[in-house]
Amino acid sequence: MGNKIRIGITGYGNLGRGVEAAIKQNPDMELVAVFSRRDPSSVIVADPKVKVLPIASAQDYKNEIDVMILCGGSATDLPEQGPAFAAHFNTIDSFDTHAKIPDYFAAVDEVAKSSGMVSIISVGWDPGMFSLNRMLGEAILPEGETYTFWGKGLSQGHSDAVRRVAGVKAAVQYTIPIEEAVNRVRNGENPLLSTKEKHLRECFVVAEDGADLSVIEKTIKEMPHYFSDYQTVVNFISEEELHANHSKMMHGGFVIRSGETGEGNKQIMEFSLKLDSNPEYTASVLTAYARAAYKMSTEGQSGAKTVFDVPVGMLSPKSPEQLRKELL
């Protein structure tokens, strides 16, 4: 192995920690520094040899970092950091506000084209691996339907909503694909299904002492937007059980393309994920795409890219010859 790909991490929450762990599994990469908005002395990284620096100093490291992995959130961090970092670094991010992707792409693309950097946006599993499979399904089987199911998985937004209900001490909410709907899709029936017909919502709630459980349950189930349209199950459990059984950030789901070719031959493609840790998997995808950004940049490419623009072989540390010999 020659020179390693030098990685920087911006933002050190669950995703940033996941990227640090992923880099350790990739011997062709090294982590140069973590940049944080917090006081660096308060940020404890897993590897004490890794520098933690204020985010404002990142620019000083432009010659020491090949790819910056942006681990901030899509609501406020990335809209600002994406274009700002593309001015000095090849970047990878997991921007996931689907409706705003075209604008975000344009903003990053303009900067990255003028700086000569490669910025791969919206990387992860959805958007990311799921997008790739939606696209492949549609291109290979043009006559058919695509279904995305999410779960079983912990939904942060819905868990927060449950926690805001009066009398709730702690709670988690799982999004769960409805098995009957999944089976109809897998059988090639091509049913018309709304999101709420595909998923049910299951809550595990720790109530405060003396709270009226029936009121909590009713309030959750009738909560507009979050629960009222869905089949919702509410379970009351102890705090101990919550910590013992519901502390993993598990997630997953599947993309199914159900198509037809020739004279009515059904053809089903399915991609699925079953993840013990949602942020660590997303981080692993970001890290593999950091390798691709580095290679594309080395080839002289620039501008914003998505998973659709990347030749998949670039994600691998293996040479094209090795890939053909070992994996084709």
Binding site residues, a second copy, CB under 8 A: 18, 21-22, 25-26, 98, 101-102, 105, 122, 127, 129, 131-136, 138-143, 186, 248, 259, 261-262, 265-277, 280-281, 283-285, 288, 291, 306-313, 315-317, 320-321, 323-325, 327-328
Distance CA 204, CA 48 (A): 37
Nearer to a second copy, 28 or 208 (CB): 28
Nearer to a second copy, 59 or 195 (CB): 195
Q: Within 13 Å, how many C-alpha atoms sit on residue 155's CB side? A: 22
Distance CA 96, CA 79 (A): 11
Nearer to a second copy, 11 or 259 (CB): 259
Residues 11, 14, 18, 19, Cα dihedral to 10°: -10
Give the nearest distance from C-beta 145 to a second copy in angstroms.
14
Give the nearest distance from C-beta 292 to a second copy in angstroms.
9
Distance CA 124, CA 96 (A): 9
What string of DSSP letters covers 86-128?
HTTSEEEE----GGGHHHHHHHHHHHHHHHT-EEE-S-SBTTB
Tokens of 59: 């620019």
Distance CA 261, CA 267 (A): 7
Nearer to a second copy, 18 or 205 (CB): 18
Give the nearest distance from C-beta 216 to a second copy in angstroms.
31
Give the nearest distance from C-beta 289 to a second copy in angstroms.
9
The CA radius of gyration of the chain, in Å to the nearest whole number, is: 22
Distance CA 35, CA 64 (A): 13
Nearer to a second copy, 243 or 324 (CB): 324
Nearer to a second copy, 50 or 315 (CB): 315
Give the nearest distance from C-beta 59 to a second copy in angstroms.
28
Residue pair 97/78 in contact by the 8 Å Cβ criterion: no
Nearer to a second copy, 68 or 290 (CB): 290
Give the nearest distance from C-beta 174 to a second copy in angstroms.
17
Residue pair 313/289 in contact by the 8 Å Cβ criterion: no
Give the nearest distance from C-beta 249 to a second copy in angstroms.
9
Beta-sheet pairing, 265-275 with 251-261: antiparallel
